[in-house]
Amino acid sequence: MATEKEILAKYEGQNPKKLKVFVYYTEKATGIENEMNLWEWLRIKRDRNRRDRFEFDRVVDLSEGVPTIETSDDKKPEEPEIVEDKFQCPLCGFVALNEGDLKLHKEAKHS
C-alpha cells in the first residue's frame, strides 16, 4: 500500500475541481469518518490551522467508472462487529422489545 503523498501525487498537475476524486478522512477529535472532494482536501492541507484536525484514510476515484479504492499503510479496514439481539426473530429479523413480544410475534406472523 502507498502513503498519502504517493496516492495524491497521481493527481498532481491536474485541475482538482474537475476530477471525480474523493478523500475519506477521520476527524481526530470525534473519530467520525467522512468524505470530501480532492480539491477541498488539498485546501485544508494548505491551511495550517485546520490540517491537523483530520487524518487521511483513503482515496476513491470515480473518474474511471468503477471506483478504485486506494488506502494508506497506516489504516487497516476494520471488520464490523456483529451484535446478536436475543429479542430478534431468526425468521424475518423483527426486533421485539422483550421476550413476550417476540413470542407473540412468532405466533402471529410465523404460525
Domains in the chain: boundaries: 4-71, 79-111
CB 75 within 8 A of CB 57: yes
Residue 20, all three cell numbers? 471525480
> What is the C-alpha to C-alpha distance for residues 70 and 65, in angstroms, rounded to an integer?
15
Residue holding cell 484514510? 57
For the stretch 64-109, pLDDT in tens is 666 656 666 555 666 667 667 888 888 888 889 999 999 999 999 8
**Minimum mean pLDDT among 21-30, 47-56, 61-70: which range?**
61-70
> What is the C-alpha to C-alpha distance for residues 101 and 96, in angstroms, rounded to an integer?
6
Please give the average per-residue pLDDT across 44-70, as a whole number: 81
